[in-house]
Structure 1
Amino acid sequence: MAIRVHRFLPSRLPPPTNTQLTWIRGLWFIALALAVVLDIAGTVFVMRDVYRNDPQFHRLSLTSQIENDGSVTVESIPDVAGVPAVPALSRITAIDGKPVAQDTPVWDLAARLKGKDGQVIALTLVLPDGRSATQRIEVSPRYTEGRDLSPPLGRDGRMAARMIISLLTCMTLIGCAVLLFLRRPQDPVALLFSFSFLLFAGAIDPPLNLWLATGMGNAFDVYTTLAWALLVIGIAAFPDGRFTPRVVRWILVVAPLMMIPLAIDEVPVWISVAIAFILPLFLLICHVIKYRRFPPGIERQQVKWAAFGFGSGLLLLTLAFFLVEVLGPEPLNGLIILTLFNAGFLAMAIGLLISLLRFRLWEADRVISRSAISAVVTLAVGIVWTLSMDFLKLGAEWVLGRESETAATLAGAILAAGIFAPTQALAMRWAKKRIAGDESRIQKLVGRLHVWRTTEMPEEIGVRTLSALSAAVHCNGAALLVDGPRGPQLLAARDVEQADELGRPSYDPVADPRFPLTLPLEDEDGPIGQLLIGPRSDFNRYNAAQLDGLNAMTEPLAETLRASLKRAQQAESISMQMGSVEERLARLEQNGPRLSPT
């Protein structure tokens, strides 16, 4: 039984074989083509819907909403006087007595609503409670006059912002999927994320409305839930395909089962949000366990970036769905929700792309920590300021009377400007010092060099220096050469294969591809050696702070090595002299007069 369970639920996702990769590659290209086609077709549909279909509804004081089955519901434009109120989720069943089928596409319904200015159209509606009502509404552009042109809610401005944000998200998802597939085709985790991002790119805005308008809401539900299942399994198996702890491998069963309630429209929104976004957050606990089990190095940084991207993305998506239920139907609110929704997908894609492609992973500590500290400080200051404002209002009412809102507001402004703003600045300055960068670590090394020059031998200084540099700049290898009577000599090496070659007289460090950085060690007395630095362990270029720190360290290191080497030579000379003296004394004792035993 244990063998069957093990075979049914593997503890690690195996890499695809060459045969499997052949048909996986075909499926991937189909998913890529479908995502691109859906994005283009969805963009065209949204443009035509906004500039051709919506105006016909607006001229009758109505707004339209495409439902999951492709049908169209309407409601009155808010704050329009002189027209009958039409509640949300109402359906048009007849226009001037001519019946309208429920499955009429939005573009056909908009065409049938066309009328000349001043024409009165009789609309027969089925209200959400099942009652039928006939409303006579005059066709007029006055219902939306001033609304489409007033900043920042102008129609063109909203449309431009929506298209830029949505298409940027779709292109990011597609680009991330392409890079993952091209760079890691035999990584099962990268394949899961690549397929998931392609499916999501063809399902979010702008293709979203196209799915619904064509009556393919059920297919859309299956499409998006499949993308969600692939994403969740990929999160659970990240980064090496192992399910840690082993109980997490049951996600291979749970994720497909959770697709069922997610695909059912009748399931309450809060349940769907909990399943889709909140439950995957608990999988990040697995990342904490994996992080603790990995040794310090590249794997830990990968887990950090992935957890940061997944965590922030899922939280943004949860917030977006929460605001849908809280905010009203104003256009600006819709743009805010759309921005949060797309930002969630961008965060997951960018965090994962940086993690798997190992791009600037060692900057994760500062990015994540400073972002978290900034958010906590801002939230704490906001809460304290809000409570202080309430207490100030109560105190002002008690002292000056109830008509003292102006005094309380003025006191709150003084409090914010004089106390909380400087407090927040001090907290952020403390956080910046607390989270030290590579340059500060190298400065600490320079300070230690001045101590080592009088206490440590050259070999010990070399070993300690390379160890400190490895932690500061995260190099994949390093070596330290010093000038000797017969040419450069190897003083110390770290994580370098065939290090003995570095001490050969014919060795040229500039021509060695293992060391992209060759820094001369030189002080006021001249050159003394060379510091060889290998590539970063995430295979990215050294940033400006790291290069400046390394260049600033070479002179103190040269001075320390020169002083230590001179002290070592003096100690060796004294040791040789002492040895010579001891040898002469021994000879004298051997050749001197011997005492008689009697």
Structure 2
Amino acid sequence: MVGRFLGGMAITLIALGITTSLLRYRLYDADRAISRSVAFGALTLALLAVFAGSEKIIEVLGEEYFGESLGALAGGIGAAIAAVMIAPLHHRVTHWAEHRFQGALIKLRTGLPLLVGDMRETATPTHLAEVLLDRVESGVRASRGAIVIDSKVAAAKGIAVDAVQEWLGAWVVSSQVSALDCDRTDTLFPLRAPLYADGVGMVGWLLLGGRPDGSFYGKDERVTIATISEPTARALAIALQRAAREAARAEEIGALRGEIGDLRAIVARLGSHRRAGFRPAAEGA
């Protein structure tokens, strides 16, 4: 019993030491792998605690009510209780680990579709593109980024617009517009996400530079970027359509104002002629 307790304590101290170093020094650039490792370690500790606690309680109850130690039966019941607790503990621990180590990425994946859904009816396409780019860069920790619509830079961060336009002039667009275009040899924009949505078509591209340390995006980051591309494209398309309608309406209003101005000028001239004693020929007859 003492050996088992010391073994459990040793495992607990090792896991706590690793977790403390991760939390203190933020040594989790490989967020996905470390998140799963921490979740596995925490789940193991929790199951050990449940097993040991259940076994001890059952032994105490056995001695209290039956006057003898239940021995192996207590261990079996403790193991059964731990087995029942695996699923709920796994869900809770995994949820905690993901939000602790991949919080920005999860916020991007779940929050961005809601954000663009709210902004697409009121924001201008340029403002929407700037907000989208800011959220994406924060979520995946990109060193630079740009959103391109109709071969024009709608927003850029961490890089000059002229530099993006120059890069676009030399870029050969992938024929598979529905998939991420990844080129790790490209030092400027190694990841290009097509902003495409069913029923809308191709709206533009989300261009992302590598991370500040030069590393490329992991699987979770790429999946998240692919996931948010569709709602982003749809929101930008709606904002562009609304902006086009507003521009056409403003043009019509401008034309009407011009016609009204011409009519006012004609009326003013007629009024001045009347005041000068001018009468049209029909009135003189």
The alignment's TM-score, normalised by the length of structure 2, stands at 0.67
Can you list the C-alpha shifts for 1:382-425, whole angstroms capped at 9, x where unaligned? 3454333223212212222225434434433333333x434433
- Corresponding residue for 1:180? none
Give the Cα separation in 1 of the matches to 2:167 and 2:208: 20
Q: Match of 2:61, as an amino acid? A: G
1:431 to 96, 103, 110: 96
Q: Match of 2:189, as an amino acid? A: F
Output aligned runs, 1:375-454, within 5 Å: 375-402=41-68, 404-418=70-84, 420-432=85-97, 434-435=99-100, 436=102, 438=105, 441-454=108-121
Question: 1:304 Cα deviation (Å)?
Answer: 1.9
Alignment check: 8 A CA contact 1:509 1:515 kept:
no
- Corresponding residue for 1:236? none
Give the Cα separation in 2 of the matches to 1:520 and 1:417: 45
- Corresponding residue for 1:508? 170
- Corresponding residue for 2:152? 489
How many residue pairs end up in the alignment? 237
- Corresponding residue for 2:210? 535
Change (3 A) 1:389 1:463: same
Change (3 A) 1:504 1:461: same
- Corresponding residue for 1:517? 191
Question: 1:480 Cα deviation (Å)?
Answer: 1.3
2:26 to 301, 304, 309: 304
Change (3 A) 1:387 1:515: closer
Change (3 A) 1:569 1:426: closer
Question: 1:517 Cα deviation (Å)?
Answer: 2.5
Alignment check: 8 A CA contact 2:194 2:229 kept:
yes
Can you list the C-alpha shifts for 1:169-219, whole angstroms capped at 9, x where unaligned? xxxxxxxxxxxxxxxxxxxxxxxxxxxxxxxxxxxxxxxxxxxxxxxxxxx
Q: Which has the higher contact order (CA 8 A, sep 6+)?
A: 2
Q: 3-state DSSP class of the match of 1:563?
A: helix
- Is 1:577 paired with 2:259? no
State the superposition RMSD in angstroms. Answer: 3.6
Q: 3-state DSSP class of the match of 2:142?
A: coil
Q: Which has the larger radius of gyration?
A: 1
1:466 to 127, 133, 152: 133
Percent sequence identity is: 22
Change (3 A) 1:574 1:304: same
Question: 1:535 Cα deviation (Å)?
Answer: 1.7
Question: 1:481 Cα deviation (Å)?
Answer: 1.4
Give the Cα separation in 2 of the matches to 1:537 and 1:428: 30
Alignment check: 8 A CA contact 2:50 2:82 kept:
no
- Structure 2: which 5+ runs fail to align? 1-16, 174-185, 276-285
Change (3 A) 1:588 1:579: same
Change (3 A) 1:579 1:505: farther
Change (3 A) 1:591 1:548: same
Q: 3-state DSSP class of the match of 1:592?
A: helix
Alignment check: 8 A CA contact 1:475 1:533 kept:
yes
